[in-house]
Amino acid sequence: MTASEILQYYFGYDTFRNGQETLISHILQGQDVFGIMPTGAGKSLCYQIPALMMNGLTIVISPLISLMQDQVTALRMAGIPAGCLNSMMDEINYKSVLRQVYQGKIKLLYVAPERLETASMQKIANEIPVSMITVDEVHCVSQWGQDFRPSYLKIVSFLKYLPYRPVLSVFTATATKEVAEDVKNILHLKNPFCLTTGFNRKNLYFSVAQPRDKFEALLQFLKQHPDENGIVYCISRRLVEEVTEDLNHKGFSAVRYHAGLTDKERYENQEAFLYDKVRLIVATNAFGMGIDKSDVSFVIHYNMPKNIENYYQEAGRAGRDGSPANCILFYDSSDIRINQYFIDNFGQNLEIDAGLKIQLQNREKQRLKAMQQYCTGSSCLRHYLLEYFGDTAPEYCGNCSFCRIHCEQKDITSEAQKIISCIYYLYKRNLYFDSESLIQILRAGKTEKYQQLQLSETLPTYGIMRDISEKQCLEIIKYLISTGMLSEKEQKLCLNRKSGLFLKEKQTLSMPVRKTGTASVQNKENQVDTDEALLSLLKECRQKLSQKEHVPAYVIFTDMTLRDMCRKQPVSDMAFLSVQGVGRVKLEKYGDAFMKVIHKYLDS
């Protein structure tokens, strides 16, 4: 099968997401790849699909046991031969997986980096053809990354141990340019194809609030979202305990998660959240990496995290299936002091010299400063986040607390017509200017250059915007460029097809601007047009199946898939296959059960 056929047959999608097909193509050509893709962008498919198309075994190195188990369960549910080896497995299951590997019955083998040094893994490396090594959460290999793990350095030794070097594919959701370069050097990637698909998650609503009473603000939010799954991150174990206890006292079913609990309780609480036995989990940042729960509707940071990288990764655990989700951060100046304390004690458990420790601490201080600026800044939150990671973004997103509270839409049709017309008249004279010079012309600037060109006497648009300030003119021009209404060539402004249509068709145009008043706007989340009654019935069907098969509900179908069922209301096999996230295997397994619910609903 081709990559597209595998995508449809096993995973139930008609088209690839941005960057997926390109990365898959380069892997199949035998080239190392480095994919930087935000959480929810589908990076797993970038190595899972080629793994099915290549002849040998693909070893996937993943940081946490929970992530491996989730991935393997989801793959097996889709009919894909996958397995994992980890320290939590009993001897019988461990040997069973090894036997399947040697029998060629497993295509994807998930292991933690610590496993690479075991005799069983080194035996596999020598005796089984390995076609690809995949490293997930690869930023963990870099000391400059936000989550450095010394165990990830074992990957380098393992690669040297292999009799021949397979294709190396590595992925992460967050990496600055410095971290990305460090990763490439440490793992010795050979002429890698590097792709950053962009960090923007349009379905996420970002908000920063400074409530007088954080717990009361949390309660108000939870009351407004009673049936949603969510994560509440706290800065310390003590606070996790307090918030969990207070939530349960108020009637909310919540479990706790932090490194001070026993392995047994952490596992049980995580499973309770994954299997929808509780809606809320209150945790330190020890929870979350590798958690593939797709129906998390909100992530609330009770305190400011220590850096943007951690925040964006943790917030990104909301809305993984593409559904609208909330990312709320409660900020207080005391969070700075607590994080500073953590930085001062950074590196105590790492075997590093004093000089490197100071360097890392200084880097963490800079990251903390950037995090504080995010919380206290006066600009679009999404723009700040994306710009931090080197991504381009407009200065207004319309889906963050800053834009909704401080911005409003202003009609700039007249101003845009004047600017575009002025550029057109100058173009007719074969004259091109940058933004600053054009503003001088529009505002009748008296300079020798314009006098020599006799613009004041002959140009119809000369001085046509003299009643508008230079700052306002510049803001409008920048907006026209950001929306593609104007183009820039060597810093000179010029027209394009879009600007021509604007004038010809007499289109209207609005631009977000700062509000002059102090009125605020309540958070109105993106609404999806869904039949809620049918959705509830489909979720009930999914829950029964998940309990019967002892798997998390989202492994059977994500909320996004159920919403697509609500829209398409399929009652035949072909129609059911058209639902996003439904492949052949899942049609055969679950199609009848869900179509029975839909058919009954339509007849009622």
- Give per-residue pLDDT as tens, 458-476: 888 989 999 999 988 998 9
Domain boundary at 445, 473, 508, which?
508
| Confidence tier at 521 by pLDDT (50, 70, 90) | very low
Whether 564 maps to a domain, the answer reads yes
- 91 and 236, same structural domain? no
- 292 and 146, same structural domain? no
Q: How many domains does the structure of the chain reveal?
A: 4
- 127 and 155, same structural domain? yes
Q: How far apart are CA 583 and CA 602, in angstroms?
A: 24
Domain boundary at 369, 400, 431, which?
400
Amino acid making up residue 98: L
- Decide if pLDDT at 155 tops 50: yes
- 236 and 294, same structural domain? yes
- Neighbour count for residue 317 (Cβ, 10 Å): 24
What is the value of pTM for the model shown?
0.69
Whether 518 maps to a domain, the answer reads no
Domain boundary at 351, 377, 400, which?
400
- 456 and 318, same structural domain? no
- 14 and 108, same structural domain? yes
- 28 and 158, same structural domain? yes
Q: What is the CATH number of the domain that holds 329?
A: 3.40.50.300
- Decide if pLDDT at 477 tops 70: yes
pLDDT of residue 146: 61
Whether 436 maps to a domain, the answer reads yes
Spatial contact of 155 and 141, defined as CB atoms under 8 Å apart? yes
Quote the domain boundaries for residue 96. Answer: 3-196
Whether 176 maps to a domain, the answer reads yes
Whether 295 maps to a domain, the answer reads yes
- Decide if pLDDT at 243 tops 70: yes
Spatial contact of 176 and 163, defined as CB atoms under 8 Å apart? no
- 26 and 142, same structural domain? yes
Whether 185 maps to a domain, the answer reads yes
pLDDT of residue 74: 86
Q: Encode 371-398 in three state secondary structure.
A: HHHHHHCCCCHHHHHHHHCCCCCCCCCC
- 29 and 92, same structural domain? yes
Q: What is the CATH number of the domain that holds 492?
A: 1.10.10.10
In tens, the pLDDT along 481-507 reads: 878 899 988 889 999 999 999 988 989
Whether 217 maps to a domain, the answer reads yes
**Of 499, 493, 502, nearest in space to 442 by CA:** 493
| Confidence tier at 143 by pLDDT (50, 70, 90) | confident
pLDDT of residue 222: 95
Q: How far apart are CA 228 and CA 295, in angstroms?
A: 8
Q: How far from the centroid of its chain's Cα atoms is residue 400's Cα?
A: 15
**Of 473, 463, 466, 472, nearest in space to 435 by CA:** 473
- 423 and 396, same structural domain? no
Average pLDDT for 203-212: 93
- 166 and 43, same structural domain? yes
- 301 and 159, same structural domain? no
Helices vs. strands in the chain: H and E counts, helices first: 27, 17
Whether 242 maps to a domain, the answer reads yes
